[in-house]
Structure 1
Amino acid sequence: MIPFWKKTDKHSKPQSAQKRKQNTKPAVPRTAQQSIPMQRMFEDGTCRVKPNYYTRTIQYQDINYQLAQQEDKTAIFEEWCGFLNFFDSSIKFELSFVNMATDSTEFEKSIRIPYQKDGFDDVRAEYSQMLRQQLAKGNNGLTKTKFITFGVEGESMAQVKPRLDHIQNDLLNNFHRLGVQAKPLNGVQRLKLMHDMFNMDGASKFHFDWKDLVKSGLSVKDAIAPTAFAFKNSRTFQMGGIFCAVSFLSITASDISDQLLKDFLDMDSSQIVTMHIQSVDQNRAIKTVKRTITELDRSTIEEQKKAIRSGYDIDILPSDLKTYGRDAKALLKELQSQNERMFLVTFLVLNTGRTE
């Protein structure tokens, strides 16, 4: 049996209040709308994801990091470290990198230079044509956008709104110090982004107006949901007319190249890369690292005992033990004396295709 969650229409009968009360366990989603993990979108761009948890999204532009001189790269990296250290353990955030096929109509609008009837319209037309050709060549028909979504917990919208405003302003200022253009998304813009991600097959266009909600009896989910979700197996699923697969990246290396993310984003296909990041409370982080160092020391002693029994030098230890021990002690020092933070990161890559 294949779970196939279809998009419902406004004529579907709502569940009675009595039946809702009887269902004490979390309900399994039965429609495409129910499978979207959000409850309400506000006009200012605040989204209530679940009870007592609210988020906002900021779109930001690229920075010429790869082309910068080494000293400039170091300065950018230090600013980025300061940017990340802004997030304490009460703020969850997610970096999203969205590569999607270009909507030719919207693409045309974004680069069109309006005529002004001043004798230079032929130059504007030629320049617009050049932009269309160059952008199409450079992105292989893909539009690449970047977002940061942050969320805090609170009992109500009125309670969390001042804090969300404060965090948003601080983030915009941090982006400005990095030399990056950034803007917050309002409710309609966030809904359009969700619609485009859920309907990557291009089968439907985004049409939405807050005034239509009351008259139509529909919810915001009806405007963004795909025609259906189909989960055939544990590896792939179908979203509307395209097939999708999600992979996660498990990083065990103590150091990685700054090219890592760029290599993913340079792939010529529609994909979404997300980094879900949670800052760990400082005391908890220090205890965790200390516990890890204790375990490594215990493993070192066991290896030395084996060495004595086998009759070889006790200083010959597995390279992993030495590397992890050195890195753990360096991390502990940074946490204790340099005001660094520990982050838990989930790195996901969504790949899509017209066929399985």
Structure 2
Amino acid sequence: MKEKARIDYIPIPKKLQDVIPVKTIYLNGIFRLKNGRFSKSYRIKDINYQAVGKEEKRSYSSRYADFLSGFESEFMYEITVSRRKLNLEEYNDKYLLKPAEDDLEEIRNEYNKIISDIVEESNTIYQEIYLTLSTDASSYELAKSYFDKAAISLQNSLVTMDSMLEDIDGKERLEIFNDFNNSDKSDIDLKDMIKGGRDARTYISPGYFACEHDYIKLGKKYARTLVVTDYSTYIKDNVISRIIGDIPNPVMFSITSDPVPTDEAVENAEQRLTKINKNIDQWKKKQHSRHLPYDEIPYDYQVQRDEIKKFINNLREDDMRLLYSTMTILHTADTLEELDRDTDAVIAAGKTAGCKISVLEYRQFEGLHTALPYGLRCIDISRTMLSGSMLAFTPFYVEEIQDYHGSFYGKNQISKHLIMADETKLNNANMMILAVPGSGKSVFAKLKMGFEALADPDTDIIVIDPEREYGSLVKAYGGEVIKISAESPHHINLMDINEDYSIEEDKPVTLKSQFIMSIFEHILNGITPAEKTIIDRCVINVYKSYVEAGYKGEAPTFETLYDEIKSCDEPEARDIALAMELFVKGSLNTFAKKTNVNTDARIQCYDLWDMDEQLMPVGLEVVLDSILNRVSSNRFSGRKTIIIVEELHMYLKYQYSAEFFYKLWKRIRKCNGRCVGVTQNVPDLMTSDTARTMLSNSELVVLLKQSEDDLEDIRKLCHISDEQLNYVRNPLKGCGLLKIGKTVIPFDDRIPKDTKIYELVNTDSKEKSYAGN
């Protein structure tokens, strides 16, 4: 068995480019290092380790141990937890709303201020996990085949932990080092640079380099490498985050490990066991010759023998690997005073966590290259450890969602980092917001509506508002509020239709006829086959000229259809016409007239507050049909549509609306749209197959405060752990859990109370603080 870890020798640089220990950089991210080895880096997706309970942590730890045991002995591997600062230009481009020529600049600036404050609170520090493999290979092609094979195996292992391995190409890998070296170089075209024969190291080398005995001056900043020289036998998990989690400047914690072939490790251990057994036999003979008892062997021998047996069992039965591991911590600061302060903080945090951490005196250059994700070990400080002993040093902390140009969802309760999610990455972007009354579900939906309205001018937003909560908000954004009731001056022609009318491939008039049939189901309290025939014939007749004109001009009205049916000779037609009179000539004729509101407004709210129970079934169908017109039209014009349905549970009791939402939730993705359902009735979701299917077709679920009686149902419906449910048992108003795909994040969506946004979204008459203090 190899007696010590591999040490890589790197000569002291003669010029700035020599600071980079790389010979060749390939487009796919493979480096050929100066020592002849090849290395490749990957990104490991973080998981919500900190947010789960003990049982789940044990499960994650077991699977992480399997991951560590999966490295072949021809690889040296380096796991790096990197906490870096997001630069201002990147932050502005990635997260802030862009200016626009409208009257909403005050609100837009407030959203940007809220986002900026969250980023500032977290010191603009963001964590990433890198895995770097390095190996000896006779050629680039052979090295590439090694890396490709290893990546497949490691990815399969990480998937069991809800993580994944993401490839890092050459340009992105260079940017990691460029960001660290503070070289102030502009963007690089690596392909063009390689083609032109230029040295890509120039792009990532620092502008200045000077190595002192306990720090390095690197460009405009100072850097220092520390090493973990020892740690307690019994330490708690999550050591890495406890050591570097509170450092306000960029820092890397790297664990460089060299696996020993298992057969060699076992053979070496068996030789040691044989030697101990031989010592025990000799001791027994000596005791016997002295006529002394020898039944109980000395305690030291017992301990040594038991430990080696356990060690062999760990290798053989538990599939652990023996590793030579080196742990380094590299941190930077703008001043030497800041650097010294952070060094003291790291050493103190390490002591609290059970680790002895020291500054690498006179080996800062070697430490720098060991800590950076090159795949090198340039210092001779290492210790042998089993892969199972590495579990305390798990790199995982909390999963973040910070997508480029994503939607704003507040901040992560654990890390305090911004949550920005790009819903277009999901299979569908439908959302369910579930909460008990008064916990902030409507406020969450309004904040979502406001941000989307500002973020994308090509998105139309439609709100179904039964509680009259959205009017002032919609008007503030320049939208249209349509009040639906028997007395309302606002009218929607239930016969309106466009040539794209359908979210499927049905013919428009055929589908519209089905809708009108459902209206007559309510008017006639049921409908006979003869009545269906008459109605269908008359619908086709009244639409004939409108369709022939290319759906241009004025659409027929319900009164037009009434006149057509009244002119029929069948006795059933007279009965149909008589029943229609209430909805054509009588007090419920609001949908029999020409549309006199702007149903094409970019932001549109259907206010159903005054719609009584008698009009509700027909009125709701007309509203939904109007929405269908809009969605289908947007589908072919390339615009996106968001539909927000407040108190969704109210509409699932009507057959037509339940079926409408069921189909819409399943198919709106094809129409470039998404739905947001807001409801307080979790038991209804459990008992309704329709509701359960809609929930399963919602890859975004927002959970605010939940009733204790509903928690078990929530756990089953949303596949959430008991530990995570603590975030919705009795949270602050505006706080809860956000489930995006398989990711579950505890969020805090509270906003400052002294803002225009708060004034617009607040629905609490008592002004209890949904906002932050």
TM-score interval (norm. to shorter): 0.7 to 0.9
Equivalent-residue separation in structure 1 for 2:166 and 2:54 (angstroms):
28
Describe the superposition over 1:54-105 as per-residue Cα deviations: whole angstroms up to 9, x where unpaired. Answer: 2211112321112212221121111111111110101221111112232111
**Does 2:262 align with 1:282?**
yes
Tell me which of 314, 329, 336 is aligned to 1:349: 329
C-alpha displacement of 1:323: 6.3
Describe the superposition over 1:208-262 as per-residue Cα deviations: whole angstroms up to 9, x where unpaired. Answer: 11355368763111000002221222x2222122222211112354443213112
**Does 2:218 align with 1:239?**
yes
| Cα 1:66/1:292, change in 2 over 3 Å | farther
Kindly report the root-mean-square deviation, in angstroms, between the aligned alpha carbons of the 2 structures. Answer: 3.7
TM-score, normalisation: structure 1: 0.76
**Residue number in structure 2 paired with 1:151:** 134
| Cα 1:286/1:241, change in 2 over 3 Å | same
Tell me which of 232, 236, 247 is aligned to 1:257: 236
**Residue number in structure 2 paired with 1:12:** none
C-alpha displacement of 1:52: 4.7
Q: How does 1:33-182 map to 2 (within 5 A)?
A: 33-50=17-34, 52-112=36-96, 129-137=113-121, 139-182=122-165
| Cα 1:121/1:171, change in 2 over 3 Å | farther
The alignment-based identity, stated in percent, is: 19
Equivalent-residue separation in structure 1 for 2:64 and 2:331 (angstroms):
27
Unaligned runs of 5+ in 1: 1-24, 306-313
Tell me which of 32, 42, 53 is aligned to 2:16: 32
Secondary structure at the counterpart of residue 140 of structure 1: coil
| Cα 1:227/1:78, change in 2 over 3 Å | same
CA contact (8 A) 1:52 1:156 kept: no
CA contact (8 A) 2:194 2:200 kept: no
C-alpha displacement of 1:332: 1.5
Give the AA of the match of 1:248.
V
Tell me which of 215, 218, 222 is aligned to 2:198: 218
Equivalent-residue separation in structure 1 for 2:283 and 2:218 (angstroms):
51
Secondary structure at the counterpart of residue 18 of structure 2: coil
C-alpha displacement of 1:170: 2.7
Count of residue pairs the alignment pairs up: 321
Equivalent-residue separation in structure 2 for 1:302 and 1:236 (angstroms):
53
Secondary structure at the counterpart of residue 163 of structure 1: helix
C-alpha displacement of 1:327: 3.8
- Greater Cα shift, 115-124 or 275-284: 115-124
C-alpha displacement of 1:39: 0.9
TM-score, normalisation: structure 2: 0.37
| Cα 1:163/1:121, change in 2 over 3 Å | farther
| Cα 1:28/1:232, change in 2 over 3 Å | closer
Secondary structure at the counterpart of residue 145 of structure 2: helix
Equivalent-residue separation in structure 2 for 1:181 and 1:122 (angstroms):
41
C-alpha displacement of 1:125: 6.8
**Residue number in structure 2 paired with 1:15:** none
Equivalent-residue separation in structure 2 for 1:120 and 1:128 (angstroms):
12
| Cα 1:28/1:262, change in 2 over 3 Å | closer
| Cα 1:196/1:302, change in 2 over 3 Å | farther
Unaligned runs of 5+ in 2: 1-8, 287-295, 341-773
CA contact (8 A) 1:54 1:151 kept: yes
**Residue number in structure 2 paired with 1:330:** 310
Give the AA of the match of 1:210.
L
| Cα 1:26/1:169, change in 2 over 3 Å | closer
CA contact (8 A) 2:10 2:35 kept: no
Larger RCO (CA within 8 A; separation ≥ 6): 1
Equivalent-residue separation in structure 2 for 1:187 and 1:257 (angstroms):
37
CA contact (8 A) 2:280 2:297 kept: no
Equivalent-residue separation in structure 2 for 1:176 and 1:116 (angstroms):
42
Equivalent-residue separation in structure 2 for 1:78 and 1:117 (angstroms):
55
Give the AA of the match of 1:133.
D
Equivalent-residue separation in structure 1 for 2:87 and 2:164 (angstroms):
23
Describe the superposition over 1:174-199 as per-residue Cα deviations: whole angstroms up to 9, x where unpaired. Answer: 32221124421110000000111222
CA contact (8 A) 2:43 2:165 kept: yes
CA contact (8 A) 1:206 1:224 kept: no
Give the AA of the match of 1:150.
L
Equivalent-residue separation in structure 2 for 1:144 and 1:92 (angstroms):
23
| Cα 1:116/1:184, change in 2 over 3 Å | farther
Secondary structure at the counterpart of residue 107 of structure 1: helix
Equivalent-residue separation in structure 2 for 1:58 and 1:132 (angstroms):
30
Equivalent-residue separation in structure 2 for 1:124 and 1:323 (angstroms):
68
Secondary structure at the counterpart of residue 174 of structure 2: helix
CA contact (8 A) 1:192 1:206 kept: no
CA contact (8 A) 1:39 1:50 kept: yes
**Residue number in structure 1 paired with 2:207:** 227
Equivalent-residue separation in structure 1 for 2:302 and 2:111 (angstroms):
59
**Does 2:323 align with 1:340?**
no
| Cα 1:144/1:337, change in 2 over 3 Å | closer
| Cα 1:317/1:209, change in 2 over 3 Å | same
**Does 2:177 align with 1:194?**
yes
Equivalent-residue separation in structure 2 for 1:175 and 1:121 (angstroms):
45
**Does 2:201 align with 1:209?**
no
Give the AA of the match of 1:152.
T
- Greater Cα shift, 215-224 or 338-347: 215-224
Equivalent-residue separation in structure 1 for 2:91 and 2:175 (angstroms):
15
CA contact (8 A) 2:154 2:165 kept: no
